[in-house]
Amino acid sequence: MTEVLRYAAFTTDPAGGNPAGVVLDAAGLDEPGMQAIAAEVGYSETAFLWPTDPAAGRYRVRYFSPLAEVAFCGHATIASAVALAQRDGPGALLLDTPAGEIAVRTEEQREVVRASLVSVPTRTRPIAADQLSRLLAALRWSPDDLDPDWPVHIANAGNDHPVLAAATRERLAELDYDFTALGDLMREHRWTTVALFWPEDERTVHTRDPFPIGGVVEDPATGAAAAAFGGYLRGTGRVPRPRQLLLVQGEDMGRRSELLVDVRPDDPRVTVSGSATPLPA
């Protein structure tokens, strides 16, 4: 019988963070089998790992939401890395994902295991006007709900994510979108989540990530979108020097998550860091 571990990522509190399923040895599972397990677990993603060179810390990974496979999932990567560190000890990992090779490092600090992943090279581009119009309609936002100082882009760190800045914290908190319309639009353009954000100050950014194409209204922590957001900052000229940001996500859901994002002007890759804690089966 396949053992599925359960972790909350980007938190040390089991009541916070984003739950992820983790299968550390998925040998023998085919795609329908992995999809069935992910649907049964019911979390936004479950990661399935195969050791390809365990002595070198190298694993193949695939990620499934309850409805479909995704190319990359940050919170399930953090959860998987912490699970491996707790089983085998902390250190360096190389994960071969459908989005590309992801380097991860784990370390133990005061009895808490933290993991840092380095994304594939990020990229970002302005959203097309017709796509933005349909996206705002699906979100039930108006153009006035956007902060004009932040252009709307499609950012990628393995998956495409529209990135939109809310004009106020209140607008971000009042998330009430058309689940069907947004899901259809995201499937049409192969967007994975929609990254909504409001910058509190130069370091702290509040974020929310609708995920209807995964069968989930909202993710309480999204490492892939956090990496894409770092690429968005770099691509829009907001990283003149190395920056570290704290992304606070899940707060409006009652599952606060904290994601550290490190961005450099000379490197298109983004580092996303956080902890994870086991959940009861």
User: DSSP secondary-structure letter at 127?
Assistant: P
* Residue 151 burial (C-beta neighbours within 10 Å; 0-12, 13-18, 19+): middle
**CA dihedral sign of residues 36, 40, 43, 44:** positive
Catalytic annotation, pick one of 3, 31, 40, 45: 45
Tell me the pLDDT of the chain averaged across its residues. Answer: 96
Q: Where are the alpha helices (DSSP H) in 69-108?
A: 74-88
Asked if the model's pLDDT at residue 1 lies above 80, the reply is no
Q: Would you say 262 and 244 are in contact if contact means Cβ atoms under 8 Å apart?
A: yes
Clarify whether 111 is annotated catalytic.
no
**Do the strands 243-249 and 204-211 form a parallel or antiparallel pair, or are they unpaired?**
parallel
Asked if residue 93 and residue 129 are part of one domain, the reply reads: no
For the chain, give the percent of residues with pLDDT over 90. 95
Asked if residue 84 and residue 136 are part of one domain, the reply reads: no
Q: Among 91, 119, 147, give the residue marking a domain's end.
A: 119
How many folded domains does the chain comprise?
A: 2
pLDDT value for 111: 87
Nearest-10 Cα torsion for 112, 59, 261, 266: 140
Q: Would you say 280 and 4 are in contact if contact means Cβ atoms under 8 Å apart?
A: no
Asked if residue 78 and residue 200 are part of one domain, the reply reads: no
Asked if residue 115 and residue 144 are part of one domain, the reply reads: no
Q: What is the pLDDT of residues 199-256, one digit of tens each?
A: 999 999 999 999 999 888 999 999 999 999 999 999 999 999 999 999 999 999 999 9
Asked if residue 112 and residue 37 are part of one domain, the reply reads: yes
Range of weakest confidence among 146-155, 180-189, 216-225: 216-225
Asked if residue 230 and residue 139 are part of one domain, the reply reads: yes
Q: What is the pLDDT of residues 20-57, one digit of tens each?
A: 999 999 999 999 999 999 999 999 999 999 999 988 99
Cα separation of 179 and 162, whole Å? 16
Q: Domain of 269?
A: 123-277
pLDDT value for 281: 75
Asked if residue 264 and residue 164 are part of one domain, the reply reads: yes
Cβ neighbors of 110 (< 8 A, separation 6 or more) are none
Q: What is the CATH number of the domain that holds 112?
A: 3.10.310.10
**CA dihedral sign of residues 146, 150, 151, 157:** negative
Asked if residue 24 and residue 53 are part of one domain, the reply reads: yes
**Do the strands 46-53 and 18-23 form a parallel or antiparallel pair, or are they unpaired?**
parallel
